[in-house]
Structure 1
Amino acid sequence: MDEGEYSTSCSFSKSSINYHIGFLGSIKKHLEDFVVAEISLNGNLDKVTDSQSEVPESSEMQSCNNKQRAKMQHLEDLGSPGENVKISNTDLQAFQINDTALPSEDVLDLDFVLGDAVSEAVVQFVMLLKSPDCKSDISQNLSLGFFPDKNQRTIIHRAIRQRFPFLMTITNQNEIVVKEDPCYKELHHLVSEEESDKFFQFLDSKIKNSTFTFQNDDNKEHRKAIHHFLNKNFGKLVETKSFMIVDECGHHSSAVNVRFREKNKPSRKRTSAQSQEDDVTYTGFTLHKENLETLEAVGHLASLLGVLPSDFSYAGIKDKRAITYQTMVVKKVTPERLKELSHTVQKKGISISNIHPTSQPLRLGHLAGNHFDIIVRDVKKKMLEYSRELKDLVCEAVENVKVKGFVNYYGPQRFGSVQSVKADQIGLALLKKEMVKAVKLFFTAEGNDPVCVAKKHFLETEDAKETLALMPNHKVRERMILRAINRFGFGEDGCTQGWLSIPHGMRLFYIHACCSQIWNEAASYRIQTYGNHVVQGDLVFNTTYEDNSGLSCQEVHVVSAKEATDNFYSIVQVVLPMPGNNIKYPENKLGDWYKETLKRHGLELCKFRINSLKLNIPGCYRRLLAFPKNLKYQLHETNVLGTNKETILANDLCPNSDSLPYLSLSFDLNPSCYATVCLQEIMKSDL
């Protein structure tokens, strides 16, 4: 292997936005120290161990927290720069209502939804916008605070829009921000304020088969302007038509009518393949695994069930060195058959539960996030002579990251932390369409276990048939590639067939690993170059909307010079692109960095399409910063003379650590955010 050519896995200088000292400690010393459970789209956890589902704060740590939060108070408006109106935490308590207290969707009383204090703040904000002294060139935003519950956010969005149609609500990191709707202003230039209000209320109601008609209008050019405005801003949601109206006196006039578009209906004629697909059985279940990669667990289950790994679908890949719980769906397997298998798989570090029939497979990323319960062992100061108490260092570190967040790097799980050749190196070879080299990288291994012995044998002999006899049966990917090479030969065509033989998601995994490594390096360069300031040419998520499938989508916007000067956007809104064929790059030094980096890796002409492998890589955007949510923590001081459960646990698991304290943490992260990266930022040390 040419080491200079495959350099994406080399270490790079990570940047940080926090400057606390941190502390030392060990994670994943035992599987029980790292428990991960998926959070479904409805907010439910697949499973959480009883012993770690809650991490209470001791009174001592709570006192420390209060001091630290007081120091960090000035950072609470991080997402509301410039002329934004701010609401204090005491005001927020008035409308942080529970799910059980939420009104039905047709009950949208603003005072009830927000509480009197916050509702009054919204009214004052509206009066400010309506004031003749309000400068139209200065952006006015009102931050309503953070709402982790999606249903609660939906009702607040609806209540604001119904009461004040000229306002728009935006969600950023679960924070709801209110501002004047530029689309409303544009329509108000064409029709009256009353009509504008009624149209936006109609638009927000989304009542099926309902229509809205503007006032009679005999000016064809004016009607044309209304049609153009509606098609430009809401063309995917509504359709418009002008029609003739005849009044009682026989006078003719025209008006613009608006109705919601109907969803595309499937053709009545169905192919035999579609009919067979309708008859496919899908079974959902919760997979509990220990010390196994997700793909390895899938391989075990596929082998036992006699189906392909591609018949399994899941929302995300979970850590290997951990106890993990995640939802999966398997195709062509009945619930009864899966239940019969449930006792067999337990011997392989896998157990399955919550088996139930379902109607469709899962999609990658189709989850609300992940919940983590983590134990950090052997917690101690970095410098023993340092005068501050350990609990103060821990408190400062955790509270800093809780408020400021952390750089949203992809973690080592994305690239493989054990193999001598990382997944991103294989992905780079695939992007360059070097199929043989990608296979050689895939089979590069260090060690003397049966899998490594088989891989070394293949690289030495290039004999796929002999290697198949040596390769353990549970290594599904390796065996699939070897079978294809045995049939088609060890050349470009044979290796291409080898890659085609593994599931599409697995092929894509290597490409994404390469793009993720580039993103990590870009994030470091962005922080080192511009720090925490939003600058001209940055990319930000400007608006949030729901697509036809109900998923939350966001539009990217290039920050202008004026917006940068006015501090219109916050650093929490900045996003960086994952390379692909359908993304924008920043229009500043970071954009130039992307071009130079792609050229350095030989990807300057890459179209990010590999037709021979049926791969299309459109790219995506990832937030520069991430924030742990619902974070709880406690530093446990061990007592050598005591016999309580906590002391026994600490001493049994850390017999050689002189009864060092341990730190328990519980928090949630958004999809594709890494707990190990969050911990590295808290502890300020490599794990």
Structure 2
Amino acid sequence: MRTASPGGPFALGSEVPLSMEEPADVGIGFSSLRFINDHVGFQGTIKTSPSDFIVIEIDEHGQLVNKAIDESAYETNKIQSEPSDSVKKPKLHVQDVPLEHESNEEVTSLIGYVDSDQNHLSGLENEDSINGVISKCEEESIDLLSSLLDEKTQMLLDQFACDIKGMWNSETESIAPSLELSLGRILDKEQRAALHSAVRQKFPFLATVGSNREVVVKPNLEYKELCHLVSEEEALGFFKYLDAKKENSKFTFKPDTSKDHRKAVHHFLNKRFGNLVETKSFPGQNHSSGDPNTAITVRFREKAHGKRSRLECERRKTVYTAFTLQKENLEMFEAISFLAVKLGVIPSDFSYAGLKDKKAITYQSMVVRKVTPGRLKSIEQEIKKKRMNVFNIRSVGDSLRLGQLKGNHFEIIIRNLKNQVNDSTSLRERILEAIENVKKKGFVNYYGPQRFGKGKKIQTDQIGLALLRNEMVKAIKLFLTPEDMDDPVNKAKKYFLQTEDAKGTLSLMPEFRVRERALLESLHRFGMTEEGCVQAWFSFPHSMRIFYIHAYSSKIWNEAASYRLEAYGAKVVKGDLICLDEDAGEHFPSSKVHLVTEEEESANTYAIHQVVLPVLGYNVQYPENKVGQWYRGVLSRDGLQSCRFRMPALKLNVPGCYRHILKHPHNVSHQLVLADPEVEVEGSHTDDATSCLSMSFDLDASCYATVCLREMMKGDI
């Protein structure tokens, strides 16, 4: 269970004295981040050409996506994913930077009842009242919970429910909204929906929410509010009725003689649940408004239910076509834009598991909706003219999700090899030493510099910080800050910063700069006020708006990881966070995170590769040692003491996640290619001079090959 007690994991908003020990270089750049290995390293050049950097996605089944797929076998394992939003929203290009942990929060709380098509509890009959069958539903929910949760988690859930009930029964009126309990990550969608419903049937005073397939239980504050108006028995019955969603069923409250009180109940129900139900007061047999038997009856709105069924029917009829996209030296969103134009759809109709480098040859899985396999095959020749290719084209059942991959396979050539230092050790020995060290000890799992806009005057994390601080005008100006170049794009940006003339800037901005033009068109319409700038950000898709927030969180994670290694080295210490699941990726629930005790530190119970650090958000736990203090200091430094990582103005919620400090490359192989004997290679003996190093290795999802190479080479990439 996680609570909001002072000094606990959710107390980052509190004031913290800055006398705590923190690094002198808070705000350090990527080149200053620490290493985990102590070898010397070597120098070299990567990405000399796209063919020197090949990236091949590894799908969830562990297969390279550039290999031919057995379509008949694939049909029985169609891509599974959450239903996509049925409302079409135009999406634009976004820049060439990884976006591994997209956080589209799946909410299944009270309002979310209307979105669920799972009716797992069928104990309700088509009667005027459901009061007589609640016990049957409750028995079914208990049995269902036993099948979905292990004994320990069931005990934690029962205790959590007991604690909430105890608080409500005490004199305390308020309950911290951050009180919550994670039931773990449920991969199967139907089991996840069943668990949501079973918990709410057994404990109607609790609400459930979901994010990244994790089910989290919280106090149901609407239940608490309703208990001020009706009896607890009636409140329990009403919320069980809501969750069961039995068509044509009704729920009737106890008779009420007070018209004013009935009016208050009507008002509450219509305010909170008016989109789901309608209410009416029915008199008893005497048919008079003063009848002591007058009671409020609730029934589901037919319109809302019909709309839900219609949308679900439309979703099932949608055509989805999967394919492997190969591209060379091309930004992924430029590729998507081209395909969208040729296929007559919009960019948001494409889904993918992860973003890939521009200056490389990349292979990745994609799914496009509303396009048949035959239609995609018909434009293959046009696609090839754009340095792209598509193959493994087939029908599937749904879209892809970000993170729906096992990892990536890399084939890399490093050229212009040199020794880092001139000593008696040969370059060959330095290279072999570096490779073996990283294979054995791993590398610090930093987010790569391309995530922040490497080489740019204004980096993406700076824009993210401005957005988190609600400085919308500043964020716009940062986005439109020119580089020190005299090309048309930067001339247009320079003109805008000087004049704030969006219309004039549009006439200068080249047509191919779709993002900038979309932003400028919105600014021309809404103006350069704070509210106008908020509206301008909505010219970007959700994935791009939230990317800037993620970039800031990623930069802080990099600094935190570097500070953690500086403060404690490779020793696991009291207050560290440990991931208890060896196979967990980046998105795993807090229930899998364990706080190291003093006894465990003394016994060396855990290893450094099990240590995780939180990526900033509203739903993560923080270390309880110097590193936790460091996080507080950074939030104070950046003016985010009161930030809750929820931005309703931009419709962004950032729950956060956890990331392992260390990662290891898998299936590493390498080959030193001999140089022309007449060509002298600096720092090498003539008998083992090398011209380039050819490497291949696999990395888990969300890991960066450039970061792995940085650890090997001990220098900027």
* TM-score bin (small chain): 0.5 to 0.7
**Matched letter for residue 29 of structure 1:** T
Q: 1:295 to 1:230 in 2, by over 3 A?
A: closer
Q: 1:611 to 1:552 in 2, by over 3 A?
A: closer
Q: Distance in 2 between matches of 1:455 and 1:680?
A: 34
Give yes or no for contact 1:9–1:425 (8 Å, CA) kept in 2: no
Give yes or no for contact 2:52–2:360 (8 Å, CA) kept in 1: yes
- One of 648, 651, 664 as aligned partner of 1:614: 651
1:350 aligned residue: 388
1:41 aligned residue: 60
Q: Distance in 2 between matches of 1:304 and 1:30?
A: 28
Q: Distance in 2 between matches of 1:506 and 1:44?
A: 29
1:635 aligned residue: 672
Q: 1:473 to 1:318 in 2, by over 3 A?
A: same
When structure 1 is superposed on structure 2, of 267-276 and 358-367 the one drifting more is 267-276
Q: 1:27 to 1:360 in 2, by over 3 A?
A: same
Q: Distance in 1 between matches of 2:511 and 2:392?
A: 27
| Cα offsets for 1:240-260 (capped at 9, x unmatched) | xxxxxxxxxxxxxxxxxxxx9
1:676 aligned residue: 706
1:382 aligned residue: 420
Residue 39 of structure 2 is aligned to residue 20 of structure 1? yes
Q: Distance in 2 between matches of 1:339 and 1:462?
A: 46
Residue 433 of structure 2 is aligned to residue 403 of structure 1? no
Give yes or no for contact 2:464–2:551 (8 Å, CA) kept in 1: yes
| Cα offsets for 1:84-116 (capped at 9, x unmatched) | xxxxxxxxxxxxxxxxxxxxxxxxxxxxxxxxx
- One of 327, 341, 350 as aligned partner of 1:289: 327
Q: Distance in 2 between matches of 1:300 and 1:8?
A: 39
- 1:314 shift after superposition: 1.2
Q: 1:365 to 1:421 in 2, by over 3 A?
A: same
| Cα offsets for 1:338-378 (capped at 9, x unmatched) | 23333333343333332222221111111100110000001
Gaps of 5+ in 1: 1-6, 50-225, 240-259, 642-646, 652-657
- 1:47 shift after superposition: 2.1
| Cα offsets for 1:407-451 (capped at 9, x unmatched) | 111111111114221111111111111111111111112123343
- 1:501 shift after superposition: 2.2
2:316 aligned residue: 278
1:200 aligned residue: none
Give yes or no for contact 1:18–1:404 (8 Å, CA) kept in 2: yes
- One of 577, 592, 613 as aligned partner of 2:614: 577
Q: Distance in 1 between matches of 2:318 and 2:496?
A: 38
1:233 aligned residue: 152
Q: Distance in 2 between matches of 1:348 and 1:471?
A: 24
1:559 aligned residue: 596
Gaps of 5+ in 2: 1-25, 69-144, 159-187, 198-244, 248-304, 682-687
- One of 518, 541, 550 as aligned partner of 2:556: 518
Q: Distance in 1 between matches of 2:583 and 2:609?
A: 18
1:499 aligned residue: 537
- 1:493 shift after superposition: 1.9
When structure 1 is superposed on structure 2, of 322-331 and 421-430 the one drifting more is 322-331
Equivalent residues, number = 471
Residue 66 of structure 2 is aligned to residue 29 of structure 1? no
- One of 369, 378, 397 as aligned partner of 2:407: 369
2:489 aligned residue: 451
Residue 358 of structure 2 is aligned to residue 339 of structure 1? no
**Matched letter for residue 678 of structure 1:** C
1:148-163 correspondence to structure 2 within 5 Å: none
Residue 578 of structure 2 is aligned to residue 540 of structure 1? yes
Give yes or no for contact 2:419–2:427 (8 Å, CA) kept in 1: yes
Q: 1:401 to 1:42 in 2, by over 3 A?
A: same
- One of 508, 518, 523 as aligned partner of 2:546: 508
- One of 602, 605, 615 as aligned partner of 1:568: 605
- One of 615, 620, 631 as aligned partner of 1:594: 631
Q: 1:439 to 1:299 in 2, by over 3 A?
A: farther
> Could you list the runs of 4 or more consecutive aligned residues of structure 1 that deviate by over 6 angstroms after TM superposition?
236-239, 260-263, 265-268, 550-554
Give yes or no for contact 2:54–2:360 (8 Å, CA) kept in 1: yes
1:307 aligned residue: 345
| Cα offsets for 1:504-553 (capped at 9, x unmatched) | 11111111100000000001100000000000000010136899xx9999
Give yes or no for contact 1:37–1:372 (8 Å, CA) kept in 2: yes
Q: Distance in 2 between matches of 1:554 and 1:619?
A: 14
**Scaled by the length of structure 1, what TM-score is found?**
0.63
- 1:578 shift after superposition: 0.4
1:173-192 correspondence to structure 2 within 5 Å: none
- 1:593 shift after superposition: 0.2
- 1:470 shift after superposition: 3.7
SS at match of 2:378: helix
**Matched letter for residue 319 of structure 1:** D
Q: Distance in 1 between matches of 2:620 and 2:342?
A: 41
1:226-265 correspondence to structure 2 within 5 Å: 233-235=152-154, 264=193
| Cα offsets for 1:36-92 (capped at 9, x unmatched) | 11100001112289xxxxxxxxxxxxxxxxxxxxxxxxxxxxxxxxxxxxxxxxxxx
Q: 1:498 to 1:425 in 2, by over 3 A?
A: same
| Cα offsets for 1:286-328 (capped at 9, x unmatched) | 2222223323333333344443332221111111221111111
Q: 1:573 to 1:393 in 2, by over 3 A?
A: same
Q: Distance in 1 between matches of 2:577 and 2:31?
A: 23
Q: Distance in 2 between matches of 1:352 and 1:28?
A: 23
Give yes or no for contact 1:541–1:554 (8 Å, CA) kept in 2: no
Give yes or no for contact 1:339–1:355 (8 Å, CA) kept in 2: yes
1:421-436 correspondence to structure 2 within 5 Å: 421-436=458-473
- 1:330 shift after superposition: 2.0
Q: 1:299 to 1:490 in 2, by over 3 A?
A: farther
1:82-161 correspondence to structure 2 within 5 Å: none
Q: 1:48 to 1:433 in 2, by over 3 A?
A: farther
SS at match of 1:297: helix
Q: 1:231 to 1:31 in 2, by over 3 A?
A: closer
- 1:20 shift after superposition: 0.9
2:693 aligned residue: 663
1:486 aligned residue: 524
**Matched letter for residue 665 of structure 2:** P
Q: 1:322 to 1:626 in 2, by over 3 A?
A: same
Give yes or no for contact 1:8–1:424 (8 Å, CA) kept in 2: no
Give yes or no for contact 2:409–2:698 (8 Å, CA) kept in 1: yes
Q: Distance in 2 between matches of 1:534 and 1:545?
A: 19
**Matched letter for residue 483 of structure 1:** E
Give yes or no for contact 2:413–2:695 (8 Å, CA) kept in 1: yes
- 1:238 shift after superposition: 12
Q: Distance in 1 between matches of 2:635 and 2:590?
A: 27
Q: Distance in 2 between matches of 1:433 and 1:339?
A: 46
**Matched letter for residue 651 of structure 2:** K
Q: Distance in 2 between matches of 1:8 and 1:238?
A: 41
Give yes or no for contact 1:12–1:521 (8 Å, CA) kept in 2: no
Give yes or no for contact 2:672–2:690 (8 Å, CA) kept in 1: no
Q: Distance in 2 between matches of 1:343 and 1:236?
A: 60
Q: Distance in 1 between matches of 2:193 and 2:616?
A: 32
- 1:634 shift after superposition: 1.3
Give yes or no for contact 1:634–1:665 (8 Å, CA) kept in 2: yes
Q: 1:417 to 1:308 in 2, by over 3 A?
A: same
